Amino acid sequence: MINTEMNKVPKSNESKDIMDRKIEHLKIPLEYDVQHSENYFKDIKLIHHPIPGDFEDIDLSINFFNKKISAPICISAITGGHPVSKEINEILAKAAEEENIIMSVGSQRAGIEDPALLDSFKITREVAPNIPIIGNIGIGQVSALNFELDDFGKCIEMIKADTMAIHLNALHELVQDKGDISYKLFSNNFKKLREKYKKTPIIAKEVGTGFNQDSALILDKLGFDGLDVGGAGGTSFSAIESKRNNFDNQKYTRDPAEVFREWGVPTPVSVIYVRKVTQKLLIATGGLRTGIDIAKSIALGADIGGFAYKFLQSAWKDRKTKSINNTVKEIRTLKNELRSCLWLMNIDKIDKLKGNRSKYVILGDLYRWLNQ
């Protein structure tokens, strides 16, 4: 069991609620099966080439906005806003720095509302001064009537963020106790935000339910610099909420969080939908499990593959041993799997795989998804 004891006093009851929610969002995926039952990456088959070149010539490096990283791998947003979150973020950031990949933090709302929780986010930049770090704030906060543009700047400053993500988690908010379920001010507020923070790249990030083509086009036209598809196939936040004590949902004969746990557009479908409408940065997250899945995502048109659950597992092991060994090993495993994929397809650079339709076939349920 996870020790949820707090060694800091929250500023208010609202801060305590956020802290409780943050630790439960770590605890539940580690103790229960809250993964989507379907993972459509199995329906993508990469084309083997029997006479590849030199394995050591494979170059996985790419540019992420203005920084070069060693491989198209992102530690996706996991946590922040609790003392345990600080430990997890420190492990992840140290490992990401050692391996020169992208690091993301969870929603920074907690750090804005309670200064006592700032260090759970700030630790990332303190231990990882060189890598790209993606900050994070929610559509609920940006859509609020009292949204302050300066709060976005506080998020950037908090971790010296290279890039910011606005996470779009409508289903999660719908089934969560006291969730934010009005986004009618989002477009107007975002336009003001975009105007003020012109120099900071901003990504629209889904969190397990993916993008359809229409939503991707809307976000592209709004001025986002990239999209993280966060499709169905990995952790279901609806399933997580079904394990929490949301007494509001008990007024129904069925728990909405359980009913909607499989809701969403699969990650491979989201990647294809998004790439049809924009050539901006595209991160594939949601159900990726190996370096082969990164290769499949890039072949479909993504630039980067992101992982959350896998790194939560590795960081939790490292927390027990006060090391970063498991997380570093996982990053190196993903790199080796991705490099092996490229070699076995006779490709020496990542950009030669991106969107390369000759390198894969689509079968099964995924084919049916795409050909309705």
More confident residue, 19 or 268: 268
Task: Label residues 221-236 b or e (16+ Cβ within 10 Å = b).
Answer: eeebbbbbbbbbbbbb
Amino acid 18: pLDDT: 77
Give the pLDDT confidence of 195-219 residue by residue, as tens digits. 999 999 999 999 999 999 999 999 9
Angstrom distance (rounded) from CA 211 to CA 215? 6
pLDDT of 6 higher than 50:
no
What is the rounded average pLDDT for all residues in the chain? 94
Q: Above 60 in pLDDT, residue 8?
A: no
Q: Would you say residue 4 has pLDDT above 70? A: no
Residue 313 CB coordination number (10 Å)? 16
Q: Average the pLDDT over 30-45 and give the result.
A: 96
Which tens digits make up the pLDDT trace of 302-327? 999 999 999 999 999 999 999 999 99
pLDDT band (50, 70, 90) for residue 9: low
The predicted model scores a pTM of 0.95
Location of structure tokens 């929490």? 244
Which residue's structure tokens are 């495993």?
A: 333
Q: Residue 10: its pLDDT value, please?
A: 56
Name the fold adopted by 68-339.
TIM Barrel (3.20.20)
Q: Which two tokens stand for residue 63?
A: 């540019």
Which residues does residue 35 pair with via DSSP β-bridges, in sequence order?
Answer: 235
Q: State residue 47's pLDDT score.
A: 98
Q: What is the pLDDT of residues 239-266, one digit of tens each?
A: 999 999 777 788 899 999 999 999 999 9
- Per-residue pLDDT of 57-82, as tens digits, reads 999 999 999 999 999 999 999 999 99
